[in-house]
Amino acid sequence: MNIKSTLSDDNKILIIEIKGKFDFSLLNTFRDSYNKYSEIPNTAIVDMRQTSSIDSSALGMLLNMQRYLCKEDRDIKIINCNEEVNKVFEITCFDKKFTIEKI
Amino acid sequence: MKKILVVDDIEANRKVLRQMLMLLKEYIVVEAVNGKEAISVFENENPDLILMDVNMPVMNGYESALEIKNRTNYIHTPIIFVTALDTEFTLTNALKSGGDDFVGKPFNVHVLESKIKANLRIRELNQKLNDRNIQLSNEQNLIEHFFDTALNKSYLDKDLIKYHMSPMSTFNGDLLLVEKGPHGGLYLLMGDFTGHGLTAAMGTLPAAMVFFKMVKKGLSVSDISRELNMQLNLLMPTGMFFAATIIEFNFREDIMTIWMGGMPEVYVISNNGGIKNVINSQHMPLGILNDESFDDNVKLINFKKDDKVYFYSDGIIEATNPQGDMFGSNRLKSILETRSIDQFHAILDELNLFTGISSQHDDITLVELTCRDTPDLNVNSALTYTDHDLLPWSFSISVSEVEIRQTDIIHEISEVLSSLPQLSSKKTWLVIILTEMYNNSLEHSLLGLDSSDKKDDENFIRYYENKSIRLKSLQNALMTFEFNIFSENGISIIKMKLSDNGVGFKEIKYGVSKESLYGRGIGIISELSERFEFNDDGTQLTVFYKI
């Protein structure tokens, strides 16, 4: 399992953890990890502590997620990014659209 | 030869005994003429057994025996009273004063010999027992040292974490470990092994090793629980298990992630008092299930700064008073519900009051953790990179659609590249760049996909579905990677060239639309590299990266 998602009992917090390379091979699993729930959580957190690298298709997948979740004013945080992953977010200005937290 | 001390004030009596013992050829005889002298001979000669007369001047046999027994601190030295006064009073006093046996006068040599032998046997058994105890306590000290070293590196901030651990014996089957992770979060493991004493404590060693190792890597609570379960399942005999609570506190998001198996509930007390959350175990204890059946699902709980979290082992609620009643969870809960008191000490005080003089039946642990971040104690060691002169490496590799479909090409290439010492610390950067080069060549030049097809969600997904479909029917494809390492104005550069035999990448309008779903790959290459260029109608992309 390269993606593990956990929703809190009150349906308010969703944490998605991604392991290894975050690329288009995770397309469907990643989408399922946030749209399988009946209620949309207030806070969604993508935990990248074990994400080794990301590519441009992963960025597209994150944007898709944002479009799905953020129809109202909701927050998506991407946390525990390593140096390289963080740099990719910076280069692509993703740090303006998401809350990105480095290690 | 055993040494026997004969104590008698009458020379003739001593002589009879001495000769009798000498005839047996197994004993050395030393003598004393009264009780007082017997004490000093005892101290100097360290006899194995004493034959003691009762009535003597200066100090009688009873007093002497009492004194000798008081001075014996280590090995049992039998004292046999030799007396003609075989009244009930004499015999009782002989035993009361510390005597071990008596023979009546005049004595039968066979009876005397048997009694001496029987009492020496007791001394020997006692000696063996003492030796064994010394060995045991040495071993125990050694084991204690192991536990201290393995468990004491735990990060326990006294302001934020109050804990009370009371093992019922030297070794504790309850375990409390707290450590900061590399992401700044705080990890806590609290658990209770089946039983108590050394057998229960044995499990704490591997558990602590796994915990610290995984925390150091910053792994998730799910992963830690799974690994602990697997290791303990392998190591521990059936019937032994580890009830545990594993938590990671994320102080940036104010979320705790918790896995609980077989532990009593965890209470979250609001920073202005009152119970806010009661978290119950959702799993079986660790070490029971095999890896396939193990459930690593966690709970997420929101907290606020300065909320307090209470953990305890079942030793508290199962503690009994002299009448046999249990302390119970309600008593604990009602203290936690009480506002404006030091609940931690209130629980311990009430527990002491309740149990009174009754003995402890299990290890007891109570922990209070205040949810507040503390300055990071872990100093991140920066990677030191020693500069070497680079050899002018160059190599290339060509792949067809077979490899493209079956292999993680970029992974393999980057493994090879990062085996060069100068490139190992750049591995992730190279992977990012190579991935974008590869995606660009494959998707646009070889598969002929148009990246503007990705402009909305549905098309984005369709784009990647198309990619999979076209990849399956791809034929006669050829991709060639060429790598050259060289120096340019004193700067080491790796040149990465990727050529393909496809239609070429046409739209070189990269970096314009950073918010859209497409066109970002080239943007990433552009930002990370020194320079790059497309040649041969977009079938060749060359990227220069500064090492």
Quickly state the pLDDT bin for B295 (edges 50, 70, 90): very high
Is the Cβ–Cβ distance between B369 and B308 less than 8 Å? yes
Q: How far is B172 from chain A (nearest CA, A)?
A: 34
pLDDT of A96: 83
A35 touches chain B (CB under 8 A): no
Nearest to B151 by CA among B205, B216, B214: B205
Q: Please report the pLDDT score of residue B207 as a whole number.
A: 92
Q: Could you give the CA distance from residue B362 to residue A2 in angstroms, rounded to a whole number?
A: 41
Please report which confidence band the pLDDT of residue B514 belongs to, taking 50, 70 and 90 as the band edges.
very low
What residues contact residue B275 under an 8 Å CB cut-off, 6+ apart?
B267, B268, B269, B333, B336, B337
Q: Is the pLDDT of residue B378 over 60?
A: no
8 Å CB contact of B467 and A24? yes
Cβ contacts (< 8 Å) between B460 and chain A: which residues? Answer: 60, 64
CB burial of B101-132 (b: ≥16 within 10 Å; e: otherwise) equals bbbeeebeeeebbebbeebbeebeeeeeeeee
Structural domains of chain A sorted by starting position, each given as residue range(s) with its CATH number in brackets: 3-101 (3.30.750.24)
- How distant is the Cα of A39 from the closest Cα of chain B, in angstroms? 16
Q: What's the Cα-to-Cα distance from B454 to each of B248, B445, B461, B468, rounded to whole Å? A: 38, 16, 8, 15
Q: Do A17 and B220 make contact, defined as CB atoms within 8 angstroms?
A: yes
Q: How far is B542 from chain A (nearest CA, A)?
A: 18
Interface test with A, best of B277, B379, B524 (most A CBs within 10 A): B524
Give B375 to chain A, closest Cα distance, Å. 15
Pairing of strands B364-370, B79-83: unpaired
Per-residue model confidence (pLDDT) at position A71? 66
Confidence (pLDDT) at B518: 53
Sign of CA dihedral B212, B213, B217, B222: negative
Model pLDDT for residues B216-240, shown as the tens digit of each residue: 888 999 999 999 999 999 998 888 8
| Angle at alpha carbon of residue B382, lines to B381 and B384, rounded to 5° | 115
Q: Which of A55, A46, A61, A45 lies closest to A85 in space, CA to CA?
A: A55
* pTM as predicted: 0.69
Which pLDDT score is estimated for B144? 81
Task: Please give the residue of chain B at the shortest CA–CA distance from A99.
Answer: B253
pLDDT in tens, B123-143: 999 999 989 988 988 888 888
**Chains A, B: CB contacts under 8 A, how many?**
105
Sheet of A3-7, strand order: A3-7, A13-18, A43-47, A75-81, A99-102
* pLDDT digit string, tens, across residues B53-63: 988 888 988 89
Whether B349 shows a pLDDT value over 60: the answer reads: yes
Judging contacts by C-beta atoms under 8 Å, the chain A residues touching residue B184 are 103
Q: Is residue A93 helix, strand or coil?
A: coil
The answer to whether B245 and B264 are in contact (CB under 8 A) is no
Residue B348 Rama label (left phi>0; alpha psi -120 to 50; beta): alpha
Q: What is the pLDDT of residue B245?
A: 96
pLDDT bucket at B461, cuts 50 / 70 / 90: confident
Cβ distance of B524 and A91 shorter than 8 Å? yes
What gap in Å lies between CA B547 and CA B544, rounded to an integer?
Answer: 9
Find the range with the poorest average confidence among A80-89, B86-95, B467-476: B86-95
User: Which is nearest to A86 in space by CA: A29, A57, A48, A30?
Assistant: A48
B63 sits in which H/E element: helix B61-71
Please tell me the predicted confidence (pLDDT) of residue B454: 67
Q: Residue A93: its pLDDT value, please?
A: 82
The answer, yes or no, to whether residue B210 has pLDDT greater than 90, is: yes
Contact A55 B435 (CB under 8 A): yes
User: How far apart, in whole angstroms, are the C-alpha atoms of residue A83 and residue B78?
Assistant: 77
Q: For residues B454 and A24, is the Cβ–Cβ distance under 8 A? A: no
How far apart (Å, rounded) are the C-alpha atoms in residues A36 and A38?
7
Mean pLDDT confidence for B115-119 = 92
Q: Show residues of chain B in contact with A88, CB under 8 Å.
A: 432, 524
Provide the pLDDT for residue B384.
39
Asked if the Cβ–Cβ distance from B518 to A59 is below 8 Å, we say no
DSSP summary character for residue B388:
-
Chain A residue closest in CA terms to B454: A60
Q: Which of residues 435-494 of B touch A (CB under 8 A)?
A: 435-436, 439, 454, 457, 460-461, 464, 467
Q: Which of A7-11, A13-17, B370-374 has the lowest mean pLDDT?
A: B370-374
Q: What's the confidence (pLDDT) of residue B214?
A: 93
As a whole number, the mean pLDDT across chain B is: 86
Residues 6+ apart with CB under 8 A from B498: B437, B438, B441, B479, B480, B481, B482, B540, B541, B542
Which of B291, B314, B293 is closest to B200 using CA atoms? B314
The encoded tokens of residue B518 equal 């497409």
CA distance B405 to chain A (A): 12
Q: What is the pLDDT of residue A55?
A: 87
pLDDT > 90: percent of chain B: 39
Measured distance CA(B314)–CA(B521) in Å, rounded: 56
Residue B375 pLDDT grade (very low, low, confident, very high; cuts 50, 70, 90): low
pLDDT tens-digit map of B72-114: 777 889 999 988 766 777 778 888 888 898 888 777 888 889 9
Confidence of residue B390 (pLDDT cuts 50, 70, 90): low
Q: Please name the residue that has the structure tokens 């990227």.
A: B543
**Which residue of chain B is at minimal alpha-carbon distance from A92?**
B514
The residue type of B309 is: V
For residue B125, what are its two tokens?
Answer: 């058994």
Q: Does B518 touch chain A (CB under 8 A)?
A: yes
State both tokens at B431: 């992977």
Q: What's the CA gap between B203 and B235, in Å, rounded? A: 8
In this structure, what are the phi and psi dihedrals at residue B158, rounded to the nearest 5 degrees?
-65, -25
Q: Identify which of A17, A27, A82 has the shortest CB distance to residue B464.
A: A27
Tokens of B470: 């076209």
Residues of B within 8 A of A102 (CB-CB) are none
B256-268 residue pLDDT tens: 999 999 999 999 9
| Alpha-helix runs per DSSP H in B427-519 | 427-440, 457-473
Which band of pLDDT confidence, cut at 50, 70 and 90, is reported for residue B512? very low
How far apart are alpha carbons B423 and B494 in whole angstroms?
9
Mean pLDDT along residues B63-77: 86
- Residue of A30, A70, A91, A97 to mutate when probing chain B, most B C-beta within 10 A: A91
Residue A1 forms contact with B (CB below 8 Å)? no
Q: What is the mean pLDDT of residues B435-459?
A: 82
The answer to whether residue A25 scores a pLDDT higher than 50 is: yes
3-state helix/strand/coil string of B137-149:
HHHHHHHHHHHHH
pLDDT of residue B507: 66
Judging contacts by C-beta atoms under 8 Å, the chain B residues touching residue A6 are 222, 257, 297-300
Confidence of residue B153 (pLDDT cuts 50, 70, 90): low
Task: List the single residue in A with minimal CA-CA distance to B301.
Answer: A8
**Contact B435/A101, CB-based, under 8 Å?**
no
Q: What residue in B sits closest to A30 (Cα-Cα)?
A: B461
